[in-house]
Amino acid sequence: MAENPQTDDAMVAALLREREGLVQQGLDDRVAAVDEQLAAHGHKAAAGDKKAPASRSTPPKGRRAREGETT
């Protein structure tokens, strides 16, 4: 998890926490909406702010199925 937001504005801090969760879930449209609200509250996006990560197309390797399960 990222570091805690460093701001005195409670609304900006809440929006930053919400944005972090949305990025982890890959909800790009919701991240954009939160970014708009952050801009409306005067918060400028940091250079390190990332877009949502791409979804994984293949399952993790090295997992074995339990007895009776098929892969």
DSSP annotation string for 40-61: HTTPPPPTT--PPPPPPSSPPT
Q: Give residue 65's pLDDT.
A: 66
Per-residue DSSP letter, 5: P
- Residue 69: the pLDDT is 65
Is the pTM above the cut of 0.75? Answer: no
φ and ψ at 18, to 5 degrees?
A: -65, -40
**Which residue type sits at 39?**
A
pLDDT computed for residue 3 by the predictor: 54
How much of the chain is helix, strand and coil, in % rounded to 5? Answer: 40, 0, 60
Question: Residue 33's pLDDT is what?
Answer: 93
Name the stretches of the chain with pLDDT < 70.
Answer: 1-6, 46-61, 63-66, 69-71
What pLDDT score does 58 carry?
Answer: 60
